[in-house]
Chain A
């Protein structure tokens, strides 16, 4: 494939690797946080809240994957997953307490 475009630098390779990690493990972790944290935030009975949260998490997952590859840099891709994920986790933890 090395015939198209400019040659890849090490920096490019690390960037692509970091995005792939963000788009797979990162996206799954983000969806897991959504599932776990949204449930206690919803004004619903427990059985309904866990079902609704899981439904929302499934939609969050492909959005996170696409974000990982659409972000301008790999660093931004990770920040865009970690910051909202941490905020949600905190809110969920406070609501569940």
Chain B
């Protein structure tokens, strides 16, 4: 990476760009990539974090139960949203918008009783999913920043491809134990082998937020009239003013039956009710995203008080279908178990590519005494190992926080950020190599003990589960143990003297 302006040729200029985009956005992109990777198993993480729920649910029945629960407990809301349980998520979710200014409130419901009672209050996998594109920042700033990071990743990948001399040969090259050369080989191998995935996920990630980031084509074509745009872009979605006359909701069971008939038998993903309890109530039933690659493939709208069908749309427009398929590719909800594990592994590879890239930036400099490189080396410890530790802490908090404390989900999130902040500070004050050793050691302990903590607190896990056929809890424990083993192996490597780098004391 040259420090001067990129003037010497395409490859050098792209090398320069790749390096600088990487160092400016690398930490942020890593956090987004790793939480996105965890989000592949959003449903499963949610189930693991709500161990009280054991019964599988009938999705249609659970949707109806969820609507009934909202009707008795939140009749006056602006809108209700109910998400169906499926093969990967045991609980239905009920969410509501209390008033235009209010925050959304959501509950995971017990599929059997239809109530949230008896289930520990947690964000579950939703935390990683939301962090992935909202970064815990207020709307819309988190989404803007995530879009910017996504574009930076896309630029980093494209410029990385141009930089590459021997893209095919690097499939087969991994020289271990050679200091910088090994990090570079790892960076290339992890970056090149799943390259189609990396390109797809970064491009589609940026695409998902274009209604927010690039609204100009729509705004100009519809002369700044969003209602007109929505009516044409989402035909069959009915928007009505509140009538301010109370009216009960028609039988949702009949709407579910009719929706499934119109969807050709495909399952239902979620139901939204606008103006619930009002004469102008509108019920929209959305086809499940697991039924096809495309997102939002079909929906049907009912008049809330009469139950009459007032709108239907099955996507057939080429451009919109293209967009929906790209959107669905990013979400990966269409995938079976094998596809999901591939998404998960490719996501890990992408995260590791970013991590090794950040390491290369500082390892490549012999003169790490120079403060910018020293600072990068130290911050990278907390940004990578610290984030993994924070994720483990989030799961520990889920098991250890009492079920009755006020604002329990917020405390789980606080545990995550407090640990991350502590790990970042630890990385800054310790010499990088010692920092890595200690942070990775802490990861090995945190992930390695998690199955034990979980088994002691909730009784479900590897040992009990293997006998009972409790697949999710067995696999979860195995993943935690694998993460612990990886961390321990990496920490152990850090205890050996560096081979390719003299002047180790310089870093202290």
A residues with a Cβ closer than 8 A to B are: 1, 3-6, 8, 12, 15-16, 19, 23, 31-32, 35-36, 38-40, 44, 46-55, 57-59, 61-62, 65-66, 69-70, 72-74, 96
Q: Are B323 and A51 closer than 8 Å at their CB atoms?
A: yes
- Binary CB contact string for chain B from 489 to 508 against chain A (1 if under 8 A, 0 otherwise): 00000000000000000000
Closest to B366 in A: A3
Binary contact readout B212-235 vs A (1 if CB under 8 angstroms, 0 otherwise): 001011111110000001001100
Give A91 to B2 CA distance when docked, in angstroms.
40
Whether the Cβ atoms of A19 and B216 lie closer than 8 Å is no
Q: Which residues does chain A contribute within 8 Å of B165, judged by CB atoms?
A: none
In the docked arrangement, what's the CA distance between A80 and B151, Å?
A: 20
- Asked if A58 and B4 make an inter-chain contact with CB atoms under 8 angstroms apart, the answer reads no
Verify B210–A54 contact, CB threshold 8 A: yes
B320 touches A48 (CB 8 A): yes
Bound-state Cα–Cα, A67 to B240, Å: 47
Q: Determine which of A1, A5, A46, A55 lies in contact with B232 in the assembled complex, contact meaning CB atoms within 8 Å.
A: A46
A55 to B206, CA, bound (A): 10
B281 within 8 A of A: no
- Please name all residues of chain A whose beta carbon is closer than 8 Å to the beta carbon of B370 when the two chains form the complex: 1, 3
Chain A interface, DSSP helix/strand/loop, else mixed: helix
- Asked if A32 and B317 make an inter-chain contact with CB atoms under 8 angstroms apart, the answer reads no
Is B405 on the interface with A (CB-CB < 8 A)? no
B14 at the interface (CB under 8 A from A): yes
B336 within 8 A of A: no
Task: Give chain B interface residues in 279-336, CB to chain A under 8 Å.
Answer: 317-320, 322-323, 326
Of B152-160, B168-176, B182-190, the segment with at least 4 beta carbons within 8 Å of chain A is B152-160
What residues on B are CB-neighbors of A52 within 8 Å?
A: 319, 322
Does A47 lie within 8 Å of B3, measured CB to CB? no
A16: B residues at CB distance < 8 A: 4-5
Contact with A along B108-148 (1 / 0, CB 8 A): 00000000000000000000000000000000000000000
CA distance A6 to B159 in the complex (A): 25
Within the complex, what minimum Cβ distance (angstroms) separates B339 from chain A? 24
Q: Identify the interface centre among A3, A19, A58, A73: most chain B CB within 10 Å of its CB.
A: A58
Q: Contacts A50-B221, A51-B320, A57-B214 given: A1-B233 contact, CB under 8 Å?
A: no
B91 close to chain A: CB less than 8 A:
no
Report 12 cross-chain contacts, Cβ distance below 8 Å, ordered by A residue.
Answer: A1-B370, A5-B3, A12-B5, A48-B319, A50-B217, A55-B210, A55-B319, A58-B206, A61-B151, A65-B151, A66-B155, A69-B6
**Pair B5/A54 contact, Cβ less than 8 Å:** no
- Bound together, the chains give a CA A36 to CA B320 distance in angstroms of 17
Question: Which one of A32, A44, A66, A72 lies within 8 Å of B216 (CB-CB)?
Answer: A32
B207 touches A55 (CB 8 A): yes
B367 adjacent to A5 (CB under 8 Å):
no
B interface list, Cβ under 8 A from A? 2-7, 10, 13-14, 16-17, 151, 154-155, 158-159, 162, 203, 206-207, 210-211, 214, 216-222, 229, 232-233, 317-320, 322-323, 326, 367, 370, 372-373
Instruction: Find out whether the CB atom of B318 lies under 8 angstroms from the CB atom of A48.
Output: yes
Contact partners of B216 in chain A: CB under 8 A:
32, 35-36
Alpha-carbon distance A42/B336, docked complex (angstroms): 37
Pairwise interchain contact A58-B210, C-beta atoms closer than 8 A: yes
| Residues of the A chain whose Cβ atoms lie less than 8 Å from the Cβ of B203 | 58-59
Q: CA A44 – CA B222 in complex, angstroms?
A: 15
A23 to chain B, nearest CB (A): 8
Q: A48-B318, A55-B319 are in contact. Are A70 and B214 (CB under 8 A)?
A: no
Q: CA separation between A40 and B373, bound complex, in Å?
A: 49
A70 to B7 CA separation, bound complex (whole angstroms): 7
Taken together as a complex, chains A and B put the C-alpha atoms of A45 and B3 apart, in Å, by 49
Q: In the complex, what distance in Å separates the CA atom of A55 from the CA atom of B326? A: 10
| 6 additional contacts (CB under 8 A) given A35-B217, A49-B217 | A47-B317, A50-B217, A51-B322, A55-B319, A69-B17, A96-B221
Q: A50-B221, A66-B159 are contacts. A44–B151 as well, Cβ < 8 Å?
A: no
Q: Are A35 and B214 in contact (CB under 8 A)?
A: yes
Across the interface, do B14 and A66 meet the contact criterion of CB distance under 8 Å? yes
Q: Tell me the complex Cα distance, A27–B211, Å.
A: 18
CB-CB under 8 A from B3, the residues of chain A are 1, 4-5, 8
Taking CB atoms, residues of chain B closer than 8 Å to A62 are 151, 154-155, 158
